[in-house]
Structure 1
């Protein structure tokens, strides 16, 4: 039972508005975070061994077959970094691309979190629909970011001279 009971049409309006606010807030928050926060491939951003350099996602979810359907959120911000396709091949650009893919991944993780708030004003069935929406919209983009980043990290590691 929701904490606040509203007529269904208000619930729908509130849900749409709330998701708009949550998407924009997560995007803006991550956009303004310092780049140094995304510079290390540690913690959340570390590609795990089981991901096999992104090949796991391609093998089981066929990322290449649907990645063209995913919109690039860079257009939301004046100086957003486009990640739809590589613009250059030099190491500096690839490093920025990797960093920005970490920023994008965090943005989508943060966008999932508010899904729990929908239990406050939605009937149980509608709250679960909102949680499903958050997962269905964001998990594929997280997977895409991880796949691309794993591939780029392999490429940049091969290009670095031995020390």
Structure 2
């Protein structure tokens, strides 16, 4: 703990601040221009296969992904719970939106971890664990979904 605050204030700040951080970053992320998320370097085929193996066989994403919430529609963002179309432009938008979602969750994880600066042991461990547990499954799912959308887009545009 680097900042000394009375325990009651730590409880209030963390109880209100952590959920607010999730919501504010999610909302702000939906307001960023989509072109920021359009293009990123492509992974090699070997890296994509390894990532797919890890996500499907080790983390078993397909078994639990249906239980994750999609908060984007709550903020008038792009819904990612269900694929609405197989049109290439829609798939490109979907892929970009998975990047936006991943950006949002990484930012939430880092920002929530800042709460350890005033949270004493073992509460600071709980804060870091919460930051990871509440965001990592979403990141895994978004990467898995993006990989599947890329594969579908590749199939549709090369046939």
**5+ long unaligned stretches in structure 2:** none
CA distance in 2, matches of 1:114, 1:147: 24
1:47 shift after superposition: 4.5
In 1, Cα distance between equivalents of 2:128 and 2:43: 26
Q: Give the aligned partner of residue 40 of structure 2.
A: 41
Match of 1:18 in 2: 17
Once the 2 structures are TM-superposed, how far is the Cα of residue 75 of structure 1 from its aligned partner?
2.7
Aligned to 1:100: 97
Match of 1:158 in 2: 155
Is the contact made by 1:30 and 1:103 (CA closer than 8 Å) also made in structure 2? yes
TM norm structure 1: 0.87
Could you tell me how far apart the structure 1 residues matched to 2:146 and 2:119 are?
37
In 2: Cα distance, 1:66 partner to 1:50 partner: 23
Unaligned runs of 5+ in 1: none
Call closer, same or farther: CA 1:19–1:73 in 2, change over 3 Å. same
Structure 1 position 26, deviation (Å): 1.5
Q: What's the TM-score, normalizing by structure 2?
A: 0.89
Partner of 2:133: 136
Matched pairs, number = 157
Please tell me whether the aligned partners of residues 47 and 146 of structure 1 are also in contact (alpha carbons under 8 angstroms).
no
Show the counterpart of 1:6: 6
Q: Distance between the aligned counterparts of 1:161 and 1:63, measured in 2?
A: 27
What value does the CA root-mean-square deviation take over the aligned residues? Answer: 1.9
Q: Deviations over 1:2-37 (max 9, x none)?
A: 412312x43222102111231122112211111111
